[in-house]
Structure 1
Amino acid sequence: MTVSFESIREQVAAGDASGAWVALTQVCGYPNGGALGDEGFAEAMALAVVITRELAGPDGVATMAAAAAAPDDPQALYDAGWWLTEERQFAIAASVLERANQVAPGQPGIVGEFANALEHLLYYGPAALVIEASGRADDDPLLAYLSGFYWLMCGDLERPRARLRRLAGVTEANLVFMREALAGMLARADALGAAGVGLGQDALTAWHAVLNGSLLLHESPHGHPEPMHGRYAFLNDSPALQRLGLDRLQRLLAAVGHEPERILAAPDRASRILAHAAAQLFDRPVEPWTDDVGRRGLVVVWSLDAVADPAFLGGMRSHAPGRPLFVHATDWIEPFAYAPDVATLLAQVVRHPFTGGALTFDPETQKVGQAEADPRDDAELGGLIAAEPVADDSATPLEQVIAIDRALAGLPAPQRPGLRREAGSRPIHRAGSPVPSNRFT
């Protein structure tokens, strides 16, 4: 079905404002917004105001209305794009900011916000080109960093080195942080190159270590290499896959000489179940996590997105001696703020097998449903995971993960992978990488 402004108006009239917004995103979200022309853009913005009135508060309406009334005012467009970005409506935000950049090219604030919206859409190449076209990366430190980072996310190592040199003299704390983060990524890339570890368009595990300082244990064999390159889009997690992750984790820790004193369970149920399985396999006691950083142990989490405890999430932001962070499932499209030291897998949408919500199929009714939470206690369910036979179908040998760790172990402490660090903040977890994968949009 072809989406048109008229069909969107009909949806609004029928009371389906949410559906109308999705349809509007298809029509004028990036990159389609650039092809609308002046009249089409004005109509799209007028519709955006009507829908925003239904879905958002008065501040949003006022901001969008100002841009609709003055579609050639760069400040009004910037304000609307910024508000849309804050509301996580990145596709329409990018189109609005693209127009602002066309009306007033080369303004660092507009260029940076436009690139930021593209980044959230994983359009790293277009974001890098937007900054290059502005000509401002040579005189604006923030754009210099963004240029270097975006080119790195495209697999280019040379242009980021040039941008890093541009940042050598910055003193503002935020820019120093960005410079050191970019320097760390480049240092890890160089160390892997020196060790003969390739960084091509299929090197998911290597790039994961470069960008996040994190070791990835499992690349999916399904759709490997094309179109998934080792990631999952949707995953119904299973005891077998959790058992595989723990088996590889155990072998990795043995190879690097890290034997945990105990297992520390994150406070959510999915993590407690996994921690009980780890305790049985490692033959170590399992205890609830506490904020006592002197209490050494392997911290076990099913997914950071499933943990709702602010004390835990804040406490694990920094490394501590003898407290590595293992996370089974990590979102690669909208990842958690910081990266685990070790992760089993990358998935966009994942459902736990025991805590409710896993998809089921009834062969009699031919209908898909959702599983209820398993009433058995955490220790019993952990035992089921531990009892699973190991079926290692990973597309990447564990020996390669170990080789990546060893290649990075000799770097200065702030640049080493998380498993080799005992202090400092965990790196930001970057969305995507130079390795492409299909995903839900």
Structure 2
Amino acid sequence: MTELRTKERWSEAWEAFARVAAVFAGDALAEQVADIAALPDDAEPYFALGYELIEHGLHDLAATVLQRAYELAPTSEQIVYEFVAALEHVGAHGQAVLTLCGPPGLVDTRFMACYLLAYNALMTGDLDEPRRRLALLERLRNVPEALPEESTGLDVMMTRLRRFLRRADVVRRVTSLDLKDLRGWQFVTTGTVLLHLSPHGFDEGMTGRYAFVQDSGVLCLEGLRRVEAVLKHVGVEVPRVFILPERQSAILGLAVAKRLGLPAEPWPEGGSEAPGLVVAYDLADLEGPLLESLHQHRPGQVLWSHLTRWTQESAFAADLTTYLYQSKTTPWGERLKFNSETRKMERVRPDERPVEVLAGELLPVELEEDALGDLPTLLALATTVQDLTGDVAPGWARSEGVRHRQLTDSPVKSSQFT
């Protein structure tokens, strides 16, 4: 951070944070912060604090202090990896690539550095670098001195890269995979088909994601219609709609069942092996055994999560999702409404009517004339990814294995708001 480049500003900022840290994390962290406030010339206190800040989820602060550590000890593998970890969490993949390439020979002689370079290059939209790195990774995994002390998970890392590249090879047949192709990269990195792109502020920093969204019956119905169109287009017939034991999901699920003319069945505790469409309003609203019961792919089961929170990494991604958001209010929860008489925004209490009533009110909602205007583009993507098999296939086509992680980032960047 350029504003902290002088000793005076650096010390002032971190002394203030030390006081805050003492309150929310205790004296141990506050002491570590105080240690670096004096701007020491030793990299170790910066590294130690950066590690702790990452543990606390404060990745932006961690990146700031770890940059100091890296400047003081640019050939330290340990510092490089920790700095890169912080940069990844804040979406600074380009800087991560430059950092990894700093120490001479590191990315050519160490498996972990080589993998991190491949991954972070891909997350900048570069598909050539990870393709080149895969061959080197194959060689390095057979060189004991090139491997990390904990050398488990090497296959997982390489499989992940191959999965990304295989999907990208197929997706780029029908879409640009440039730095504004949110739908294409969403499938490459998670296997999720993104149904709707936000038109608001697309070219002003949002590139298809929502920041704050007040969800509505219109958006719910649009998502439902898009799910219906995709499944029909790819020839997936679901015999039932599963209703999750969560209010928002139950409302949406009942509406889907009525729209598709299918039986609505409660999702049993522990899950079900039966085929069907599982409807979640937002996976971020689910937890514990219920969430875990959705982690596994099963033959003929399709998981649609209407919303996906893109700023928070979750255990897994849905097969289909309507849109990506940062902050939301639901159509039936407490929300803001414009009062035309007072000409002010007012807070409206949650709608506590039965879920069956609220579900019935979704279907008569009318969409705007061009609401489904990009459906041909969406269906072209759905058609193309059907060529994929195994763990790179779209979620609706997988019959085993666990769903892949939902990442908080991709080569397509969007503005975030605090």
**Above 0.5 in TM-score?**
yes
Tell me the distance in 2 between the aligned counterparts of 1:190 and 1:183.
10
- Whether 2:322 is the aligned partner of 1:352: answer no
Tell me the distance in 1 between the aligned counterparts of 2:348 and 2:52.
38
Tell me the distance in 2 between the aligned counterparts of 1:392 and 1:210.
30
Q: Secondary structure at the match of 2:202?
A: coil
Tell me the distance in 1 between the aligned counterparts of 2:184 and 2:371.
15
Query: How many pairs are equivalent?
Result: 407
Q: Which residue pairs with 1:427 in the alignment?
A: 404
Q: How does 1:7-406 map to 2 (within 5 A)?
A: 31-32=1-2, 35-68=4-37, 71-135=40-104, 136-169=106-139, 170=141, 172-193=151-172, 195-290=173-268, 291-308=270-287, 310-356=288-334, 358-391=335-368, 393-394=370-371, 397-406=374-383
Tell me the distance in 2 between the aligned counterparts of 1:432 and 1:228.
13
Residue-by-residue CA offset, 1:76-117 (whole Å, 9 max, x unaligned): 211211111222222211111100111111222211221221
Q: Do 1:304 and 1:327's aligned partners in 2 also have CA atoms closer than 8 Å? A: yes
Using the TM superposition, name which of 334-343 and 55-64 deviates more: 55-64
Among the aligned pairs, what percent are the same residue?
34
Tell me the distance in 1 between the aligned counterparts of 2:38 and 2:415.
38
Could you state the TM-score of these two structures normalised by the residue count of structure 2?
Answer: 0.91
Q: Which residue pairs with 1:17 in the alignment?
A: none
Residue-by-residue CA offset, 1:285-305 (whole Å, 9 max, x unaligned): 222222243122211111111
How many angstroms does 1:261 deviate by?
Answer: 1.5
Q: Do 1:267 and 1:307's aligned partners in 2 also have CA atoms closer than 8 Å? A: no
Q: Which residue pairs with 1:11 in the alignment?
A: none
Could you state the TM-score of these two structures normalised by the residue count of structure 1?
Answer: 0.86
Q: Do 1:219 and 1:231's aligned partners in 2 also have CA atoms closer than 8 Å? A: yes
Report the AA paired with residue 282 of structure 1.
Answer: L
How many angstroms does 1:202 deviate by?
Answer: 2.4
Tell me the distance in 1 between the aligned counterparts of 2:367 and 2:205.
26
Q: Which residue pairs with 1:26 in the alignment?
A: none
Using the TM superposition, name which of 173-182 and 391-400 deviates more: 391-400
How many angstroms does 1:313 deviate by?
Answer: 1.4
Tell me the distance in 1 between the aligned counterparts of 2:372 and 2:78.
43
Report the AA paired with residue 161 of structure 1.
Answer: R
Q: Do 1:106 and 1:134's aligned partners in 2 also have CA atoms closer than 8 Å? A: yes
Q: Do 1:221 and 1:393's aligned partners in 2 also have CA atoms closer than 8 Å? A: no
Tell me the distance in 1 between the aligned counterparts of 2:296 and 2:177.
28
How many angstroms does 1:389 deviate by?
Answer: 2.2
Q: Do 1:218 and 1:394's aligned partners in 2 also have CA atoms closer than 8 Å? A: no
How many angstroms does 1:153 deviate by?
Answer: 1.4
How many angstroms does 1:385 deviate by?
Answer: 1.1
Gaps of 5+ in 1: 1-30
Tell me the distance in 2 between the aligned counterparts of 1:387 and 1:80.
56
Residue-by-residue CA offset, 1:136-183 (whole Å, 9 max, x unaligned): 222222222221121111111111112222222538432221211111
Residue-by-residue CA offset, 1:244-284 (whole Å, 9 max, x unaligned): 00001001101111121211123321111111111111111
* Aligned match for 2:388, one of 402, 411, 417: 411
Tell me the distance in 1 between the aligned counterparts of 2:109 and 2:245.
47
Q: Secondary structure at the match of 1:346?
A: strand
Change beyond 3 A, Cα 1:143–1:236: same
Report the AA paired with residue 297 of structure 2.
Answer: H
Tell me the distance in 1 between the aligned counterparts of 2:295 and 2:134.
26
Q: Secondary structure at the match of 1:232?
A: coil
Change beyond 3 A, Cα 1:75–1:279: same
Change beyond 3 A, Cα 1:43–1:390: closer
Residue-by-residue CA offset, 1:41-100 (whole Å, 9 max, x unaligned): 334333222221122223322433444467333222112111112222222111111001
Tell me the distance in 2 between the aligned counterparts of 1:367 and 1:212.
41
Tell me the distance in 2 between the aligned counterparts of 1:203 and 1:109.
34
Tell me the distance in 2 between the aligned counterparts of 1:72 and 1:330.
44
Q: Do 2:271 and 2:294's aligned partners in 1 also have CA atoms closer than 8 Å? A: no
Report the AA paired with residue 280 of structure 2.
Answer: V
